[in-house]
Amino acid sequence: ATSRSSAGPSGRGTPFTSDYDGKEGKEDDRPNSGLVSGPTKIGDDIMELEHAMGYTGHFLNTIATHPSNPTLYARTLGSVLVISDLDNPHESHYLKGHDMEITCIDISPSGDLIASGQVGSTHYKGYHAPIIVWDFQTKEKVFVLEGVTGGALGARFSPDGAFLAAWGRDGLLY
């Protein structure tokens, strides 16, 4: 387990780490670049994804509702975490930071944080499967728990939201 603001005693976590920052680049340079992208400029017009329907349900625990606002929910769409509102289905937020399919998500009891884990990456030696902690309000990355390999099987916040436990195919609990 690790707290939100520190790497913990194991030193396995590092704040704000990611090999892909979501910025535009050559399509071949971005993992899973064909899935979802940011604004695209065509001539003088800018095209941006407004709504995506779908759900990648290959794994358990890949959809969750907000604890204090049940119309808000998070789901997976491949390697993208989607936060939507049932009252306004065209108001979705796409959190991009994973380079492989997301395997688990959890929302903290306060609803302030959301954690997402992924399949072990084929882009890096060791099949690393980072757990990303996001700020639910700002949709920004606040922490990346590294060390899980082979794929994240689950992530859970403690009842007080102070700690995050994660486990993976490597048989270890973080």
Residue in 128, 167, 158, 162 with CA at minimum distance from that of residue 8 = 162
43: its two tokens: 């001539």
Q: Is residue 119 assigned to a domain?
A: yes
pLDDT in tens, 16-40: 333 444 433 333 443 443 344 455 6
**8 Å CB contact between 50 and 94:** no
Q: Is 104 exposed, middle or buried (0-12, 13-18, 19+ CB in 10 A)?
A: buried
Q: Is residue 42 assigned to a domain?
A: yes
Beta strands in 36-162 (DSSP E): 40-42, 45-47, 63-65, 72-77, 80-85, 88-96, 102-107, 113-118, 131-135, 141-145, 152-157
103 vs 20, higher pLDDT: 103
The share of the chain scoring above pLDDT 90, in percent, equals: 61
Highest mean pLDDT among 1-10, 20-29, 36-45: 36-45
Q: Mean per-residue pLDDT for 96-121?
A: 97
* C-alpha span between 36 and 52 (Å, rounded): 9
State phi, psi for 113 to the nearest 5 degrees. Answer: -125, 155
Q: Mean per-residue pLDDT for 153-169?
A: 97
Q: Is residue 77 assigned to a domain?
A: yes
Residue in 146, 123, 110, 137 with CA at minimum distance from that of residue 11 = 146
Say if strands 80-85 and 72-77 run parallel, antiparallel, or are unpaired: antiparallel
Q: Is residue 157 assigned to a domain?
A: yes
Q: Is residue 94 assigned to a domain?
A: yes
Say if strands 152-157 and 163-168 run parallel, antiparallel, or are unpaired: antiparallel
Residue 27's SS3 state is: helix
- CATH code (residue 13): 2.130.10.10
Number of domains in the chain: 1
Q: Is residue 25 assigned to a domain?
A: yes
Q: Is residue 174 assigned to a domain?
A: no
Specify whether the backbone of 86 is left (phi greater than 0), alpha (psi in -120 to 50) or beta: alpha
Total-model pTM: 0.71
* Domain enclosing residue 161, as ranges: 2-168
In the chain, alpha helices (H): none
Given a cut of 90, whether residue 51 has pLDDT beyond it is no
Length of the chain: 174
Residue 40: per-residue pLDDT: 60
Given a cut of 80, whether residue 60 has pLDDT beyond it is yes
140 vs 21, higher pLDDT: 140
Q: Is residue 135 assigned to a domain?
A: yes
- DSSP lists the bridge partners of residue 41 as 46
